[in-house]
Structure 1
């Protein structure tokens, strides 16, 4: 029998043998293997591999490690990382490392794109200064004042959009305690500031959606701003609309249930319509339930709707996508993971599930029940 090449010559393996190996790999292993070398990548293109584009979960554990979960395989993959994941677009994730530097990371190939330092902000009003070493602390000062606001990268919130074909990138970030947003596009050498128009301050940087160059952000007084970031030097305000605050105790069924957790999220449909989604977890002495309510923007108001049609809503991403049974994307369903992501001030309610709007039933994943999770996010690798 002919002996196999040495381990440093994996690229010389016979193509027929490689194809046999690739056909037996799981989804994640398949995409890891095709990054070994150019020969393996070419072989992956000639192989009928696992279905591409099925929903996946990235999960953060208490000790700081991460895992990937594929619901179709019902398999958890270990991932050693010191990164903190801020947002995702396809297989690309926006991450911050232990030095408080931002990167865009391909979660399968480990390809990284380094972004400018956080303090590289183009602004005539505010200055962001890094406070030494790996402390993850910054001071933001107004131009005319010596005192400033102390900020930490654990309070950093961000969204990401990647155009895979054009290799174009857009990033929007801000600190939880600071009402100012910054954005970056491919080719920029520094971040640009989004004006707050005087009295308009941002309520929570957890409630942002970025789809292409369109940014949707909720403000402190419950208005929603739609901005377009495609200009080279400026951004454009498209519209602002009011969204009322939600109650924390509501009637449910035949009695009053205590709301144990609730959230208020935005999403954008495939056709570009804005959705607001209220989700509440109810508890009584005998049961726990979760409900979702959808509201669609119509002119300058919101109307409640009861269906997504032949689309699925990924609430973590803030987008809807066409349903696809071959990829396990269920129609008229909401993919949900937790109320708020990476919130260190309180414990987030982790509840990984798929909610069917037509039947009002919830599908959960028992194999994840024993994992001590700090956070989880759905993402779509395609």
Structure 2
């Protein structure tokens, strides 16, 4: 282990339960960028946990509770530049600019379950342009954010967030994956009685959770670059096409800079 990684918090990760203050230290690893697109899954009955993330453009690693070190995931080698992942029902959903790949983690060694192209659905876009004087740079830039979401019923969605240059309004489009490899992605315009928790990459039934609005997308201000308060959660309504701010619901007496939030599992 190189000494340069030993004291850097970017490579010395830990899991913190904000209710009990229990802290689980994870092994140190070497990487140029830290752990990107992190995944955390916890069995609430046994406290068994699984952590997954990208350490560079081509390599992903995982760590389970009974291990002493991180383990590389070989099947991730052909999905370079994976920028978003979701773990659901023992399956890992990986997204890059060219395809979605699904890995089955129900066995000791993961196996490929499915792979399909996202061409025509996701475009590689540049958010930069000529800089104008007198206007904040965060307003001048165009922002793009594409996320993969797994629904309650097991469908795979891609949520495309867009904020044009010189605009303070985000807009979202949702595309649903076909049932077979040959099917194209189809845009959908309503979630019905469900809502998307974008940071977790899942949908929930709003009738099961008091206070969650139907046909909406919930996102963390830290998840979308630019104008939103990084310490709060926002709602995009697919009915009104407007963004509104939720109330602050957590007061922390500890510093959590650069933290990634994970919520308990929800009833399906």
TM-score, reference length from structure 1 = 0.53
Number of corresponding residues: 230
Aligned to 2:94: 217
Q: 1:367 to 1:161 in 2, by over 3 A?
A: closer
- CA shift, 1:327, in A, is 2.7
Aligned to 1:353: 234
Equivalent of residue 192 in structure 1, options 71, 74, 93: 71
The structure showing larger relative contact order (alpha-carbon pairs under 8 Å, at least 6 residues apart) is 1
Q: 1:208 to 1:240 in 2, by over 3 A?
A: same
Distance 1:229 1:276 in 2: 22
Tell me, what secondary structure is at the counterpart of 2:58? coil
Q: 1:340 to 1:99 in 2, by over 3 A?
A: closer
Instruction: State the structure with more CA Rg.
Output: 1
Aligned to 1:89: none
Q: 1:109 to 1:350 in 2, by over 3 A?
A: farther
Distance 1:268 1:367 in 2: 26
Distance 2:201 2:154 in 1: 12
> Does 2:43 correspond to 1:163?
yes
> Does 2:146 correspond to 1:264?
yes
Equivalent of residue 22 in structure 2, options 101, 111, 116: 111
Aligned to 2:135: none
Question: Deviation digits for residues 100-119 of structure 1, max 9, x if unmatched?
Answer: 3332221221112233x244
> Does 2:125 correspond to 1:240?
no
Distance 1:182 1:378 in 2: 19
Q: Is the 8 A contact 1:226 1:239 kept in 2?
A: yes
- CA shift, 1:338, in A, is 4.4
> Does 2:12 correspond to 1:101?
yes
More strand by share: 1
Distance 1:327 1:379 in 2: 19
Tell me, what secondary structure is at the counterpart of 1:289? coil
> Where do residues 63-142 of structure 1 align in structure 2 (5 Å cutoff)?
98=9, 100-115=11-26, 117-119=27-29, 138=30
Q: Is the 8 A contact 1:262 1:339 kept in 2?
A: no
Question: Deviation digits for residues 291-321 of structure 1, max 9, x if unmatched?
Answer: 1100111122311111111111011111111
> Does 2:171 correspond to 1:294?
no
Distance 2:106 2:79 in 1: 22
Tell me, what secondary structure is at the counterpart of 1:230? coil
Distance 1:98 1:358 in 2: 42
Aligned to 2:136: none
- CA shift, 1:266, in A, is 0.4
- CA shift, 1:99, in A, is 8.1
Q: Is the 8 A contact 1:261 1:281 kept in 2?
A: yes
Q: 1:295 to 1:326 in 2, by over 3 A?
A: closer
Distance 1:247 1:192 in 2: 30
Aligned to 1:328: 211
> Runs of 5+ in structure 1 lacking a partner?
1-95, 120-137, 139-150, 250-257, 342-347
Distance 2:247 2:23 in 1: 34
Q: Is the 8 A contact 1:203 1:222 kept in 2?
A: no
TM-score, reference length from structure 2 = 0.73
> Where do residues 275-294 of structure 1 align in structure 2 (5 Å cutoff)?
275-284=157-166, 288-294=168-174
Q: Is the 8 A contact 1:310 1:323 kept in 2?
A: yes
Q: Is the 8 A contact 2:17 2:23 kept in 1?
A: yes
Q: 1:248 to 1:192 in 2, by over 3 A?
A: closer
More helix by share: 1
Aligned to 1:134: none
Distance 2:40 2:248 in 1: 30
Aligned to 2:104: 228
Q: 1:282 to 1:367 in 2, by over 3 A?
A: farther
